[in-house]
Amino acid sequence: MAAVDDIRASSDTLFESRAARRKANMGQYIRWSLLFLGGIMMVMPIVYMLSTSLKWPHEIYDVSLIPKEPHLENYTFVLEDGRFYGWFINSLIIATITTISNVLFDSLVGYTLCKFRFPGRYIIFIAILSTLMIPTEMLVIPWYLMSQSFGWLDTHWGIMFPGLMTAFGTFLMKQFFETVPDDFIEAARIDGLNELQIWWTVAMPLVRPALAALAIFVFLGNWTAFIWPLIVTNSWDMYTLPVGLSTFADEADVAWELVMTGAAISTIPTLVVFLIFQRFIIRGVVMAGLKG
């Protein structure tokens, strides 16, 4: 890109007058200012949420962004209530196990469909591909009935079983295993590794960026998932963070500073993770978005 910019710059000096360049510079400043202003507006809801969570109740009527006497009482109050800990742990357990399951199984299936020739391969491929077209909302009623008859209602397993494998992840991984040369796999076979070892020790390390992208998507998706956990849980100690927050906010209704605190508690973890792994996550999103 730098080289291209140089070319652009040099052609600018060759063909354009100084006045035209000053005009172009002016345009750049305006462009940058508007973009930056837009960016600030984009984060305002998050900033207001955080600022209100630090305000006293009488102050929430004040539109000012900076709390007059910032304090953490709201956080103490919400966390002393105790339920948020449980919801946080539930969400963490479900998102973590689902992510591990997806990383393992989606990549195993993607790898098998990509690197093995066997009867039935095409049918399996089409069958899994076709599940992309089935909306979750169509399956929630049968899943609910299934959970009811197997006693999975109101359990961690009940919340996570529908998402343990995804067609999206399978195709993402299949695409990336195409980039692993068959020669590597042949060489490993000659060295006497069995197929499971080849998948795990040879192929998997070569698609690590794709695995990370998949993990980010699955984790975030399950961390924020709402409709299925809402349906399958019915006691507050099994709620996930979004379901818990929804009921908590509904109870706290008029105490907006507490609602904002609850919202902040469920938002801060993903924001912190994002700020730490920013470049990495954006690259993963592009990869998953374009290849998936």
Partner 1 sequence: MYKNLSIAQKHIVWAWAFLALPVVFYVVIRFYPTANAMLISFQDWNLLGSRTWAGMENYQKLWNDPVFWQVFRNTFVYLILGTPISLVLSFVVAYHLDKTRFMHGTIRMLYFLPFMTSAVAMAWVWRWFYQPVPIGLFNNWLAQFGIPQIEFLRSTTNALPAILAPAVWAGLGFQIIIFMAGLRAIPQSYYEAARIDGVSKWSVLFEITIPLLKPTIVFLVVFSSIGFLRIFDQVFNMTTGDPGGPLNSTKPLVLQIYQSAFTDFDMGYAAAQTVVLFLILLVVSLLQLYLLRDR
Q: Could you say which residues in the range 130-169 bind partner 1, by CB under 8 A?
A: 131-146, 161-162, 164-165
Kindly state the smallest distance separating residue 40's Cβ from partner 1, in Å: 7
Q: Which of residues 251-280 bind partner 1 (CB under 8 A)?
A: 256, 259-260, 262-264, 266-267, 270-271, 273-275, 278-279
Binder to partner 1 among 67, 87, 95, 111 (CB under 8 A)?
Answer: 111
Q: How far is CA 83 from CA 112, 125, 245, 262, 269, in A?
A: 43, 43, 10, 11, 17
Kindly state the smallest distance separating residue 72's Cβ from partner 1, in Å: 19
Kindly state the smallest distance separating residue 112's Cβ from partner 1, in Å: 5
Cβ burial, residue 253 (10 Å; 0-12/13-18/19+): exposed
Binder to partner 1 among 14, 19, 42, 66 (CB under 8 A)?
Answer: 42
Classify residue 22 by its DSSP letter.
Answer: H
Closest CA to 97 of 139, 179, 155: 155
User: For residues 104 and 206, which CB has a smaller minimum distance to partner 1 in the complex?
Assistant: 104
| Binding mask of the shown chain, residues 10 to 29, with x at each position contacting partner 1 by CB under 8 A | -x----------------x-
Binder to partner 1 among 23, 39, 181, 184 (CB under 8 A)?
Answer: 39
User: For residues 206 and 255, which CB has a smaller minimum distance to partner 1 in the complex?
Assistant: 255
Q: How far is CA 21 from CA 2, 13, 24, 32, 268, in A?
A: 19, 8, 5, 16, 44
User: For residues 39 and 151, which CB has a smaller minimum distance to partner 1 in the complex?
Assistant: 39
Q: Cα–Cα distance between 199 and 204 in angstroms, integer?
A: 6
Binder to partner 1 among 10, 23, 36, 73 (CB under 8 A)?
Answer: 36
Q: Which of residues 60-79 bind partner 1 (CB under 8 A)?
A: 60-61, 63
Kindly state the smallest distance separating residue 287's Cβ from partner 1, in Å: 9
Query: Which two three-digit tokens encode residue 240?
Result: 């996930």
Kindly state the smallest distance separating residue 76's Cβ from partner 1, in Å: 19
Q: Cα–Cα distance between 264 and 54 in angstroms, integer?
A: 10
Q: Cα–Cα distance between 292 and 281 in angstroms, integer?
A: 15
Q: How far is CA 254 from CA 53, 165, 186, 229, 265, in A?
A: 14, 40, 66, 25, 18
Kindly state the smallest distance separating residue 80's Cβ from partner 1, in Å: 20
User: Would you call 176 helix, strand, or coil by DSSP?
Assistant: helix
Is there binding between residue 218 and partner 1 (CB under 8 A)? no
Q: How many residues form the binding site for partner 1 (CB under 8 A)? A: 94
